[in-house]
Structures are given as C-alpha cells and as structure tokens.
C-alpha cells in the first residue's frame, strides 16, 4: 500500500534527523546522521516484515 511506503519513508527521515541532532550534541553530526539513517532503514525493514502478508492457504477452485 502507498501508506505503508510513506510511513517507512517518514521513519527513515525521522531517525536521520534524530541521529543528526544527537550527533550535533556530541560534536559529529555526519556520523550521527549516518547512524540515524541506519536505524531508520532497519526500523522500516522491520515494519515491512511485520506488515508483510502471511502466505494464505491454497484456495479451492470453483467450477460452475
């Protein structure tokens, strides 16, 4: 769904900004941004796995 991809994108950007802010506080915003992006991608992947459809049972074919 399009909403799922939008949420994943927002998670990546959000974690990147949090990481950049933490990096600024610690004196290295570039490293913080990369850490934030990494956490964002991992969180987005976990969200995608959580929302992935489970394999359904084979449907019986109807003949009319």
- Cα–Cα distances in Å, from 6 out to 1, 34, 38, 43, 63? 9, 20, 17, 13, 41
Q: Which long-range contacts (CB under 8 A, 24 or more apart) does 13-17 make?
A: 13/40, 14/40, 15/39, 15/40, 15/43, 16/40
Q: What is the pLDDT of residue 49?
A: 78
Q: Which two tokens stand for residue 54?
A: 């489970």
Q: Using one digit for the tens of pLDDT, what is the confidence trace for 1-58?
A: 556 678 888 888 899 999 999 999 999 999 999 999 999 999 988 888 777 666 665 6
- Contact by Cβ (8 Å): 17, 42: no
Q: What is the pLDDT of residue 5?
A: 74
Which of 18 and 63 is assigned the larger pLDDT? 18
Q: In which band, very low, low, confident or very high, does the pLDDT at 64 lie, cut at 50, 70 and 90?
A: low
Q: Look up the pTM and report it.
A: 0.67
């Amino acid at each position: 769904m399009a909403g799922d991809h939008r949420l994943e994108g927002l998670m990546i950007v959000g974690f990147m900004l949090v990481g950049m802010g933490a990096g600024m506080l610690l004196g290295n915003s570039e490293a913080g941004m990369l850490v934030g992006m990494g956490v964002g991608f991992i969180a987005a992947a976990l969200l995608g796995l959580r929302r992935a459809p489970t394999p359904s049972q084979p449907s019986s074919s109807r003949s009319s």
